[in-house]
Structure 1
Amino acid sequence: MNLDFRVAEIVRFALNGLFAAGIHFAVLSFNLRVLEMPSAGLANFFAAWFGIAASFIGSRFFVFRHSEGALVSQAMRFLASYAVIACLHGLLLYIWTDQLQRDYTVGLFLAVMMQAVLSYLGNKLLVFKAA
């Protein structure tokens, strides 16, 4: 695999992440403004699933281009890896902010960077790995 291909794949990964975040935000806004859901937390919970679905579809067909794999198997590995990453994300923010008494915005930035790296590696090596 050459360097140009890797860079292109990372760019596609970043674009897919931005697109999925946009879907998440759009559904969250729809839930709060149009459906007038009284709880932002609940509205966000439902919106997150749309963002996750967009991320999975984009990763499968656009980023890693491994649509020949078993859909259910890939989806299960994708969800499992994201569950682990979400726990690590929360743990890092808990330690950084609650235990070390550091600024939560810096902790969030660090957690998001960790999440992006682990998500890319997890998707590439575990979820959408080449046969």
Structure 2
Amino acid sequence: MNARLAEVLRYILNGLAATVVHYGVLTFNLAVLAIPSAGLANFLAAIVGITASFLGSRYFVFRKTREHMLRQMVKFGGLYGAIAVLHGLVLLVWTDYLGHDFRVGFVIATAMQVSLSYAGNRFLVFVR
């Protein structure tokens, strides 16, 4: 298997695993800890999911551990913050200004998010 294809497959697996972690922590926060706010429960779960995504990207997907972890974390956080803003802007324009179905906008924004996060991680955060 081509090295780039193997990396993309690891990226997909890492994303799925981070999503499972996020959802599992969200469920735990609501069902076991009884956090009364789903928004707060989700925010806390997102932090854990993003951390899982970072660690998976560093050690499993891109396997770039020579650079100091804190520096990679800052770049990773900046990238994901920028992508989150872009995701929100796509939904704002698609749904609020253009009047289209938010579900379609969400799919478009998420496709952009996945593509940009892979490219950003590969070329900005976990540089060869």
Q: Same fold, TM exceeding 0.5?
A: yes
| Counterpart in the other structure of 2:3 | 5
| Counterpart in the other structure of 1:44 | 42
| Counterpart in the other structure of 1:28 | 26
| Counterpart in the other structure of 1:18 | 16
Say whether residues 1:109 and 2:107 are aligned partners: yes
- For residue 95 of structure 1, the aligned residue among 64, 84, 93 is 93
Distance 1:100 1:93 in 2: 10
Distance 1:24 1:120 in 2: 19
Distance 2:20 2:68 in 1: 27
**Cα deviation 1:83-117 (Å, max 9, x = unaligned):** 00000000001111111111111100011100000
Distance 1:99 1:21 in 2: 30
* 1:23 CA drift (Å): 0.3
CA-atom RMSD in angstroms: 0.8
Which amino acid is the alignment partner of residue 101 of structure 2? D
| Counterpart in the other structure of 1:73 | 71
TM-score normalised according to structure 2 size: 0.98
**Cα deviation 1:43-74 (Å, max 9, x = unaligned):** 00000000000000000000000011110100
Percent sequence identity is 52
Displaced runs of 4 or more, over 6 A = none
Distance 2:95 2:25 in 1: 29
Equivalenced residues, count = 128
TM-score normalised according to structure 1 size: 0.96
